[in-house]
Chains A and B, each alone.
Chain A
């Protein structure tokens, strides 16, 4: 029963993917676009297989950047949200700064980070962190702020300290709101890392794409893109699974058989 449901869950997305690939091939056949503009699905697939060692080497670098950025960004964002909820003075000073910081275009920030931190992994991880930080901090703070009054009343009559109230009542109550921020963060993290690699690097999928582009190895460029997409999808489902595990009460609600 469960197996069948799992199979059903995958068949539609896979079918949609197949249709997209078919359209891709159809466009090539009908318009005759040259291969150095749009390679065929088959060419991309063979690039994926033939260049797998090269792709794997660069993919590993990008994966490290994404995961480190994700963890760092989530920790920093969550800490900010908790601190904002806990300290009024911080809200007055930090909140406006946070909003202003969102007006800085990320692309403009990347060269500066390169200048300060060099061409290694550091600035890419930082880019991924920066792009993740804000959605986590803002959805986390929103969730913490919107704890239903009734639960705060209970916490008060239990005689809890403000710290206990924040961690035991407000934080779990904020989880659903925080979860939407984390899902956003998961899909944004690869963007940060790749922007960092484009601006200046000697390794990673972003570097590989630029390099392949310069050498007119468009099939390799598309292959790198496919790997990036797979990363993004895996990351999303990984975060989603972790969130479901953290909120088992919501999982139960989704199964309608009771």
Chain B
């Protein structure tokens, strides 16, 4: 089944009595990877939570359409900044966490979880406890758990921000390959990450904020670090992000 695109309309969020954004529109194309950037407190994570219909303490509103008209429910996977591995399941159990939580994992669930662990290169850690893994390994397990949902829409909230720089680059390559063909919306505060991975970059800027589309380098993702265009675009993006607070 091809992944659906998403259209967000009339998105508004109020923090206390300060409106962060009002009547925001955005289109997320089917099968494309969109990165959502913005300074801390711009409401980018909240926007993502609203799309995922997760709980928010602040006053908010959002209308959401899918390109195929079918509801979003059951077609969505969520990956957060923290790996959210549960300590009471082993690594393999964490990959198929949704099967555990919905009932009892079947033999097929287990096989699929093993295949995904192999794809993220952690076959030998299957029966370890999460606490025995490094931060990068844990985030790879989280990626495998996200893939286990086999969702056509993947929402990620700063998924690689808690690991070191080298691990982050490796995770980019892995995620880009494994999430190919899905509709991905990823919130990040790292311009470089956005430039390597995104088909489209949106910046949440201003008060109340609007979504501004930024140019993306040529070439297939994950784009190599040594590309001249990438560093050029990075300078541009950083300048734009700085403007948000000073302008």
Contact = CB atoms under 8 A, between A and B. Distances in A.
Interface of A: 148-160, 164-165, 168-169, 172-173, 175, 247-250, 252-253, 258
Q: Which 10 A-B pairs have the closest CB atoms?
A: A157-B78, A168-B101, A158-B98, A150-B84, A172-B88, A249-B129, A249-B87, A153-B54, A252-B129, A150-B80
Nearest to B129: A249
A173 B54 contact: no
A164 B101 contact: yes
A60 to B, nearest CB: 37
Contact of A164 (B53, B102, B130): B102
Interface in B60-104: 73-74, 76-78, 80, 82, 84, 86-88, 97-98, 100-102
Contacts of A258: 132
A168 B100 contact: yes
Given A249-B129, A252-B131, A156 B101 contact: no
B86 A172 contact: yes
A164 B131 CA distance: 25
B174 interface: no
B88 A249 contact: yes
Contacts of B74: 159
Contacts of B80: 150, 153
B101 A157 contact: no
Contact of B54 (A151, A157, A159, A169): A157
Nearest to B77: A157
B52 interface: yes
B145 to A, nearest CB: 8
Contacts of B102: 158, 160, 164
Nearest to B88: A172
A253 B77 contact: no
Contacts of A168: 100-101
Contact of A253 (B53, B86, B131): B131
B223 to A, nearest CB: 29
A154 B88 contact: no
Nearest to B80: A150
20 contacts: A149-B55, A151-B86, A152-B55, A153-B55, A153-B80, A154-B84, A154-B97, A155-B101, A156-B52, A157-B76, A158-B102, A159-B74, A168-B100, A172-B86, A172-B88, A173-B86, A249-B87, A252-B131, A252-B132, A258-B132
A149 B82 CA distance: 11
Nearest to B82: A150
A156 to B, nearest CB: 6
Nearest to B90: A249
A176 to B, nearest CB: 9
Contacts of A248: 129
Contacts of A154: 78, 84, 97
Contacts of A149: 55
A250 B129 CA distance: 9
Nearest to B73: A159
Contacts of B78: 153-154, 157
A164 B101 CA distance: 7
B93 to A, nearest CB: 10
Given A157-B149, A160-B101, A164-B102, 8 more contacts: A148-B84, A150-B82, A153-B84, A156-B54, A158-B98, A165-B101, A249-B130, A253-B129
A219 B87 CA distance: 50
